[in-house]
Amino acid sequence: MRRNLVRRRTGSTLFEFAIVVPVLLALLFGIIEWGYIFAARTTIRNATVVAARAALPGATTNNVDIAGIQQIAKNAIMPLLPVTGSNPTVNVLTNAVLGDTTNAISVQMTYKLKVFIPWAKIGTTNNTMNVSATTVLR
């Protein structure tokens, strides 16, 4: 009697493993994808801060090199994110409004991030999502 019971349970372990593993792998890869998205957002935010700080000395003399500031922002994201063609887009405004001051520097960057798991972030199209950040300094 006991031998029959042991024989019947041998297939149940494999069945449970086959049910649980895909769920655990989906959870694991979802966590990795969210970590990549978080790192990309942090990198883009940091790049806008670096670019805005580089533009501050020129803002006081109304002599801001916009192309140079855009290149500084692109260089700041290169350790993590590839820069290709028009990705990312960097906008620099020298007359942004910050409180009651109208001569602030605004740096805005938008990056089309390629996601590996489309369902990890709702709102993705063509396996890409727009990640953007804006920094305003005076």
Band (61; pLDDT cuts 50, 70, 90): low
Closest residue by Cα to residue 51 from 93, 83, 98, 112: 93
The one-letter amino acid code at 42 reads T
Number of domains in the chain: 1
Report which of residues 119 and 69 the model is more confident about.
69
**pLDDT tens for each residue of 5-24:** 555 566 788 888 899 999 99
| Residue 108 pLDDT | 92
Residues in Cβ contact with 129 at an 8 Å cutoff, skipping those fewer than 6 apart: 37, 112, 113, 115, 121, 123
Mean pLDDT, residues 68-81: 89
Gyration radius of the chain over CA positions: 24
3-state DSSP helix/strand/coil % of the chain, to nearest 5:
55, 25, 20
Band (4; pLDDT cuts 50, 70, 90): low
pLDDT at 62 over 80: no
pTM for the structure as a whole: 0.76
* Beta bridge partners of residue 129, listed in sequence order: 113
Domain extent at residue 133: 2-137
Exposure on the CB side of residue 21, measured as CA atoms within 13 A: 6
pLDDT at 121 over 70: no
pLDDT at 39 over 90: yes
**pLDDT tens for each residue of 90-113:** 988 877 777 777 778 889 999 988
**110 SS3 class:** strand
